[in-house]
Structure 1
């Protein structure tokens, strides 16, 4: 499998406006004799933690002397020994765990440490040391014990951060909120660069050709990680992550890129995107296998209070509906135009992941069951006088049989307080997920919150609002603002706040709360607070 191919060099000026200042370099002797670093600071991409469990979590960093070197290897050559430390206090006077690991070129000098043996439900501080230098300090948290009573859980939820469109001030505000967990729901990077008239409005440029190789994807993640606000967020709290499409290619579906593409060619590119995603994220050990797949779906328990199902809505799904009948990627169709949309053999999550999810929902004892995934589930009908109903095929609306299996499972299994989270659509939505998406009188089986983008522009507000009268299950929609949402979860209620930033073109944008929603324990459906 040939994945490495140098991408177009990028101007180092593109890094201005994002780098975190390096801590003082420590005097530990042979600093860079074997690394090829040439005296450069080796932690310009910061630190992160994720996937917490009761006795540990994943720690992450990636060493780099030149983060966007054209070959994607960060300006380093040979292996580098890295020491990691986890402490019970900020001053590192009580070391709870420590060890050493080699960072090498096969993973672009990324480091993943799966820490074990810690106490449940408490904060820990961590850092790395390599070649006489010390990383920034990060704050991680272990999950509570599986049977622990938990009074409160604070989440911050993000998606869709296009480097070129704006600054990541929203990430800085998320860090200021000091969440217990951050959820990233996809489009952490964008694989393409804006060109022509669109590029004229860029706030800052990627400066790369479109990512199609491992080196190209690595450099997109590296560039994002030089942003000070994103670094601060990752250092402030552990995270749970999934992907959407732009981590590989816009609107791809399973092994199909679009109408013209061939799966045998595309899966090589997809595997490169998946490998770079793993190298850039603090997730448990996984790999691209012989089928060029990489499983990332997982279940995370947070005491008795919550259980998270982080789902993969891209890798295993069927080809987009009616691709051969009229246009690549997602499209707006009627059922008369696209009978393929209704085919019960089509799947959104893949049948294996569906079974895994339903098995977990059947056995869960958590008070809140949270499905973190990439696309709007509740559905959106476009109805004009005299026309048939139309649907956008890239969301769950393109896979209604798969959605029916999901809603029927929620109705039959009755997990307590199911809540669906989504990104992708660059807009805020508050939805009732109905047992039958075509029948507004059918039971509400889950509540859905959809977050707007960190920077990416939203769909036309007036056009979408004109469709809302035909969709009373959609309680709120706004595509005019950028930002994120927070969730404050207690045994009795879930409070969700839609947080909007003033201007993505302002690196110091202010923050305001657009509105607040409450879901009461045992009562599906959100209400304005």
Structure 2
């Protein structure tokens, strides 16, 4: 904690500083000097990676930044161009974007153990309103960010606007979907996984090169990959302007991994070292609660729930860390997602297999039981709907890397939704680089089986689509799939009221063009009390 700071020949003790802070007359530079002990940043600013807010609660949220004046330096004792102990950082939170009405200001820490990142948990604010924030160190002031407190418990919220994004591969395009989503000024953004890509693209044309020129497998290379993504102006803008709810998929660690099981058959004890590095770098770059999500080696809880008055409860799920080993996993070629049938792989239907893990599944059911909300939303990584696949000699096959690889767990979740009469359940998913609108049914093999929930799957921000003709054939074999389109990159935009949820599939003209335009491909409505989406 700061005991005093100096400016020119004037010395101000902590009591005088707090008095000035409370009276809202302290300039940002003065707070920055207090926090940074008159630190000078040769590059001009340590806030090269921007700012972000997340975890909105009725009285607060989490604010993030990371000090990194040289963001890609992660060796020789330097982290982002910095060495030495933890650094104090000043902050201001205001009720207006001009910072004329200060709600809170103070000093927090950029933790050296986590690459000089800041995870500031703020409390004591007014519910259901926007706030603006910024960080200071020495003379440097970060860009302004916008955060939001959730409405008070039981508040009768009229409307919630949010977007979903997933699968942003830096090498394959510019992040114009992020820019266009920011232009819509959503209340929040759900990041549904594959926020980064760990590998180096070798099969498709690229427009940008990944950091270090190698696949990320170590803490320095994962850190540099996040730093590279966060220097992108469109992503940096979206993170600054809209609070985020965050989960991961596989590429934050390794393609198609699950729990301790590497798709490349790395020994579990070795793979967990890689997972620990990947999770640590993820935490260092995300506005996650340190109380909930501070990593402990290869373990890091990110599943969480967020209430928005009586209108919506959003449960963000973790579909990677706790999943059972992939069905019929084994060398030489079955480490990655693949097709299996009941005949070829009896363990596929083992009732003990889970994509969520026992603890998270129980947590989900408890959240359903206690939900005060009219709409119950799940944000998660991979497609939940059954995708019956007939390929070669394989009939009614299952893709093992998605919920199809865990049919018993899916059946339990959907049966629980039905039995508990969960109000207006809607699932938002990513991963498959294409748009899907799906009816979630108790029995996907029976056309007469009731629809218990709706699923919207968003396309990728930039990652390449799946094989079009093959996937169209699969979609035709599954009547519960209302819509499928793989050609476009973009995001999902949602406008939620008490009476209905309108979901728009927003597409960009060309991700290889930094100035790409945006349009709406398709729009769907879910009416309150009626499971299933209708075009409109």
> Mean alpha-carbon deviation: is it higher for 322-331 or for 460-469?
322-331
Are the counterparts in 2 of residues 213 and 273 from structure 1 also a CA contact under 8 Å?
yes
Structure 1 pair 115/386, CA: closer, same or farther in 2 (3 Å)?
closer
Aligned to 2:61: 57
Aligned to 2:82: 76
Structure 1 pair 164/35, CA: closer, same or farther in 2 (3 Å)?
farther
- Give secondary structure in 2 for the equivalent of 1:463: helix
Measure the CA separation in 1 of the matches of 2:61 and 2:406: 35
Aligned to 1:302: 308
Aligned to 1:402: 409
TM-score, normalization: structure 2? Answer: 0.90
Structure 1 pair 30/463, CA: closer, same or farther in 2 (3 Å)?
same
1:230 paired to 2:235: yes
Shift of 1:459: 0.2
Aligned to 2:255: 250
- Give secondary structure in 1 for the equivalent of 2:172: coil
Give the alignment's Cα RMSD to 1 decimal. Answer: 1.8
1:118 paired to 2:125: yes
- Give secondary structure in 2 for the equivalent of 1:472: coil
Aligned to 1:287: 294
Q: Deviations over 1:470-491 (max 9, x none)?
A: 2010000011100001110000
TM-score, normalization: structure 1? Answer: 0.92
Shift of 1:132: 1.5
- Give secondary structure in 2 for the equivalent of 1:388: strand
1:47 paired to 2:18: no
Measure the CA separation in 2 of the matches of 1:332 and 1:203: 32
Aligned to 2:373: 366
Shift of 1:494: 0.1
Aligned to 2:5: none
Measure the CA separation in 2 of the matches of 1:386 and 1:41: 60
| Equivalent residue for 1:456, pick from 463, 471, 475 | 463
Structure 1 pair 239/411, CA: closer, same or farther in 2 (3 Å)?
same
Structure 1 pair 91/37, CA: closer, same or farther in 2 (3 Å)?
closer
Are the counterparts in 2 of residues 125 and 138 from structure 1 also a CA contact under 8 Å?
yes
Shift of 1:266: 0.6
Shift of 1:34: 8.8
1:150 paired to 2:154: no
Aligned to 2:209: 205
Measure the CA separation in 1 of the matches of 2:137 and 2:255: 37
- Unaligned residue ranges in structure 1 (runs of 5+): 1-24
1:288-367 equivalences in 2 (<5 Å): 288-289=295-296, 292-324=298-330, 327-367=334-374
Are the counterparts in 1 of residues 35 and 89 from structure 2 also a CA contact under 8 Å?
no
Measure the CA separation in 1 of the matches of 2:421 and 2:415: 10
> Mean alpha-carbon deviation: is it higher for 371-380 or for 31-40?
31-40
- Give secondary structure in 2 for the equivalent of 1:171: helix
Shift of 1:323: 1.1
